[in-house]
Amino acid sequence: KSIVVLISGSGSNLQAIIDACSSGFIPGKVSAVISNKANAYGLVRANEAGISTQVLSHKNYASRDKYDLALTDAIEQHKPDLVILAGFMRILTPAFVQHFNGRLLNIHPSLLPKYQGLTTHQRAIDAGDSEHGCSVHFVTEQLDGGPVILQAKVPVFADDDAQSLAERVHEQEHRIYPLVVRWFCQNRLQQHSDQAWLDGNLL
Ligand code: GRF
């Protein structure tokens, strides 16, 4: 299977997926990594793994619609079976989401539907939550609102700050994202409108 990964930053989830492809855990390969930021460290990771990279800066486009059309074209060059958002910090247009419907995944650092959007770790701390975590979901037009496939929980400790909590969540991200990508590449995972199915079971 051909996988295209979109990033904006560090790319630690990208790394986990690259590693899982190399080891054979994911029956697929990352065909390309595309970033909207030229200085994203994930681009270095991709280069080191011999994966083709492209920077597509939103600053060169007059509108979100035009950017997302160019992004769609750039992705389609690689004929992906699956498109993965891994810290891609852009809101996507409905046209983009529809184009890749059923083959577009995201990881979000909260136990969705809690804490959609940004600063999720601080919000979990501020709310006094005793548990927090991350979610892998299919992307739909609802921002951070598509059907959840898999979640991992972590405890929140009294002395946590946003950074210590983020690190604990990140470890779980690196575990569950490759697992979900493996399922997808094994043809076990499907999206039907607003539902996610694994091995014929509604999740
Ligand atoms: C992760 O926390 C992910 O949940 C969120 O963006 C962050 C990306 O981290 N969507 P990295 O670039 O994969 O290290």
Q: Contact, 52 vs 32, CB < 8 A?
A: yes
Segments in 49-161 forming alpha helices (H): 64-76, 94-99, 120-126
Ligand 1 center to 77 CA (angstroms): 25
User: Can you give the pLDDT at residue 143?
Assistant: 81
Q: Is 110 annotated as a binding residue?
A: no
pLDDT at 202 > cutoff 90: yes
Residues forming beta bridges with residue 155, ordered by sequence position: 131
| pLDDT range class, residue 4, cuts 50, 70, 90 | very high
Q: Mean pLDDT, to the nearest integer, of 97-116?
A: 97
Q: How many CA atoms lie within 13 A of 188 on its CB side?
A: 13
For domain 2-202, give the CATH superfamily.
Formyl transferase, N-terminal domain (3.40.50.170)
Bridge partners, residue 202, by sequence: 197
Strands lying side by side in the sheet with 189-192: 189-192, 195-198, 201-202
Where are the chain's structural domains?
Answer: 2-202
- Whether the per-residue pLDDT at 11 is higher than 90: the answer is yes
Query: How does pLDDT run across 19-47, given as a tens digit for each residue?
Result: 999 999 999 999 999 999 999 999 999 99
In this predicted model, what pLDDT tens digit does every residue of 53-82 receive, in sequence order? Answer: 999 999 999 999 999 999 999 999 999 999
Q: Which of 6, 7, 13 maximizes ligand 1 atoms within 8 Å of its Cβ, making it the mutation to test the pocket?
A: 13
Assess whether the C-beta atom of 173 lies below 6 angstroms from ligand 1: yes
C-alpha 13 to ligand 1 mean position (Å): 6
pLDDT for the residue 144: 87
- Closest Cα partner for 8 from 102, 71, 96, 93? 71
134-164, pLDDT tens digit by residue?
999 999 998 888 999 999 999 999 999 999 9
